Amino acid sequence: MGKRPWAGKNVQLTALSQASQGKLVKMWEKKADNALSKYVREATRDKFGGCPFCGGPVQHCFHFVTRKRRITRWLFINVIGSCKVCNKLERYFPDVSRAWFVKTYGAEVYLNLVRVAQKEWTPRSRMDVDEKAASIRYLQAITNYYKAKLMEEFRIY
């Protein structure tokens, strides 16, 4: 067994400890985060020609509805690319980007996003083994989806 036995390719979830099962979900969350982030940065550059808030270079991305809400964390509409300055600004003055969202996509889209976020899924710590397995399958699909889009739309591998 290697250093991270839970990260093996054909690992049986039920054969792992609770802690290792959680680590495996977390690992896939990270992979999905990375795939989404990469794609969103390209899509933002493509659609807005740079940071949508100031026109600067796209270097980061952030969520409109907090990424702590897992149910909306990997939705494309919930994430936007931005420059370094606007990314920092977003932390203590999020109103600017929320106003931008409403102006760009419409109030109804924002309200729906928040509505979905309020439903929230079971937190990772309280998932049973079936929920963890389903979560991993979802995150794998999300990862593959954004990777494929990055490849098809921007020829980035």
Question: Which residues in 67-96 contact Zn ion (CB under 5 A)?
Answer: 83, 86
DSSP assignment string, 117-137: HHH-PPPGGG--HHHHHHHHH
Tokens of 112: 């729906």
Closer of 53 and 64 to Zn ion (Cβ): 53
74, 116 Cβ separation under 8 angstroms: no
Is 61 a binding residue for Zn ion by CB under 5 A? The answer is no
- Minimal distance, residue 128 CB to Zn ion, in Å: 43
Question: Which residues in 34-53 contact Zn ion (CB under 5 A)?
Answer: 51, 53
Is 58 a binding residue for Zn ion by CB under 5 A? The answer is no
Q: Is 85 in a helix, a strand, or coil?
A: helix
Candidate list 54, 99, 111, 156; residue touching Zn ion; CB under 5 A: 54
21, 58 Cβ separation under 8 angstroms: no
1, 41 Cβ separation under 8 angstroms: no
Closer of 21 and 44 to Zn ion (Cβ): 44
Binding site for Zn ion (CB under 5 A): 51, 53-54, 56, 83, 86
